[in-house]
Chains A and B, each alone.
Chain A
Amino acid sequence: MADNLSSWISPSYLSSTTQKKLAKDFSHAKPFPYLVLPDFLLEEKLTPIRSALLKESFVKKESDLFKLSQTQDIIGTKQQPLKLFRSFLLSKPFLSYMTSLTSFSFSSKAIDLHGSLYQDTDFLLWHDDQLEGRKIAFLLYLSDLKNGDGGTLNLLNSKSGKPTNIATRIIPQSNTFAFFEVSSLSFHEVEEVVVKTDRLALGGWLHG
């Protein structure tokens, strides 16, 4: 019962009419299938998740491709709100919901979920996320940034299998759930954060 959709997700996203519309929006989206769903979770679920994530340990990670801070996989957390959220994402109701929006089947045994924190000058350069088993990449934003702050999730056009330019910029807004299909064409980046505001999110991949 705790995994019931209506106890987690805003009712505006649950009607069959809305799900059909979202499914159509997803499949027709450019540059590749994606959706951005603002005000996704019920506030009573969101607040404990954010508070719990802020208590997790973030480790700075830096390479040629990225600079950000990340938690370990949430599977290892001791905090109840995060355990419950992970459990919800792997639940039959949620995975069926995602199937209705994307037409993909998902594994109820495999999910990658971690917290990410982008601070001033942090970034993630162009890449496609492709790795065996990954079907959908998703993010639940837990902080707000404004236009011009950086930190946007940019989805990129491609030509002949190579990324060309930015098609869409998604500005992080708290409680927005964004996701896209992982493929050889799902090129994207996180634009450098250029302000002192933190970009906090929970994200990962659903597996097929």
Chain B
Amino acid sequence: MVSPSYLSRQLQQQMRAAFLQNKELPSIQLQQIFPATLAPKLAAQLASLSFAQNKDPLHHSYREAALPPTLQQQLFSSEMISLLNAIVGTQAVIKDPKVLLFSWKDYTLLHDEHIPKPGIDVILDFTIDLPQHAGGSLVYVDGTGEYTKLSPSFNTLIVVQRKKGVQSFLQYLNHYSKGKKRLFGICTT
């Protein structure tokens, strides 16, 4: 179930235009993507999943959980899929969904030898109260020095089209993130 305001066809056309505005990195962030009464419940369900440490120090450090089918259906409902279709302009097929949890000292790094294939990242951000100066921003880089930085934001849908050579990393979470978590569901389409 998506916030009703995002179901308007006219608004979806505007979102498509906004998405395409940045030719190098088509992207959009939609806040309050889920209704205000539903978002905290979804966040609580995600936070209660069983997370396993995934650490390869030269590449990343975070905890990861599989997205159960029932929760996947709530996050990627038919309304959400329609919205994604409208934004990206093609039929969205959810691939490789997972839930990532970052806390103090976690991060991901760029890796010259494993640049991901072009694709579309769909991120549902459920981060609560992470201070701006705590790190944890999602940064997309294109290898020429140009970058786009996406700060944590609760109940936000982020859609990013990665073209050839574009990678992302999650900034190291510093000690001001102590006690907080950077939580989001991520998949590609």
| A interface list, Cβ under 8 A from B | 64-65, 67, 121, 123, 125-127, 150, 156, 162-163, 192, 194
B58→A163 contact, CB < 8 A: yes
A32 to B150, CA, bound (A): 39
A113 to B57, CA, bound (A): 27
A64→B105 contact, CB < 8 A: no
A125→B135 contact, CB < 8 A: no
A64→B58 contact, CB < 8 A: no
A121→B174 contact, CB < 8 A: yes
A64→B139 contact, CB < 8 A: yes
A121 and B175 in contact, given A64-B110, A162-B58 (Cβ under 8 angstroms): yes
Q: Quick check: is B107 within 8 A (CB to CB) of the other chain?
A: yes
Q: Quick check: is B156 within 8 A (CB to CB) of the other chain?
A: no
Q: What 8 A-B pairs have minimum CB-CB distances, sorted nearest first?
A: A64-B169, A121-B174, A126-B57, A194-B175, A64-B109, A64-B110, A163-B57, A192-B174
The digit string for B47-88, where 1 denotes a CB below 8 A from any CB of A, is 000000000111000000000000000000000000000000
A121→B58 contact, CB < 8 A: no
* Interface bracket on B: 10 to 19
Q: Given the complex, which residues of A lie within 8 Å of B139, measured CB to CB?
A: 64
CB<8 Å pairs between A and B, sample of 13? A65-B109, A121-B176, A125-B107, A126-B58, A150-B175, A162-B56, A162-B57, A162-B58, A163-B57, A163-B58, A192-B174, A192-B175, A194-B175
Q: Given the complex, which residues of A lie within 8 Å of B32, measured CB to CB?
A: none
A126 to B176, CA, bound (A): 21
Q: Given the complex, which residues of A lie within 8 Å of B58, measured CB to CB?
A: 126-127, 162-163
Q: Could you say which of A64, A127, A156, A163 contacts B107, with CB atoms under 8 Å apart?
A: A64
Q: Quick check: is B19 within 8 A (CB to CB) of the other chain?
A: no
| B interface list, Cβ under 8 A from A | 56-58, 105, 107-110, 133, 135, 139, 169, 171-172, 174-176
Q: Given the complex, which residues of A lie within 8 Å of B135, measured CB to CB?
A: 121
A60 to B32, CA, bound (A): 34
A39 to B172, CA, bound (A): 34
User: Which of A65, A67, A121 has the most B CB atoms < 10 Å from its CB?
Assistant: A121
A194 to B104, CA, bound (A): 12
B105→A121 contact, CB < 8 A: no
A123 to B139, CA, bound (A): 17
Q: Given the complex, which residues of A lie within 8 Å of B172, measured CB to CB?
A: 67, 123, 125, 192
A125→B109 contact, CB < 8 A: yes
A162 to B169, CA, bound (A): 21
Least Cβ–Cβ distance between A39 and chain B, in angstroms:
31
Least Cβ–Cβ distance between A84 and chain B, in angstroms:
36
Least Cβ–Cβ distance between A153 and chain B, in angstroms:
16
- Please name the residue on chain A nearest to B104 by beta carbon: A192
A192→B57 contact, CB < 8 A: no
Q: Given the complex, which residues of A lie within 8 Å of B133, measured CB to CB?
A: 121
A123 to B173, CA, bound (A): 10
Give 15 A-B pairs besides A125-B109, A150-B175 with Cβ atoms closer than 8 angstroms: A64-B139, A64-B169, A67-B172, A121-B133, A121-B175, A121-B176, A123-B174, A125-B57, A126-B58, A127-B58, A156-B57, A162-B58, A192-B105, A192-B172, A192-B174
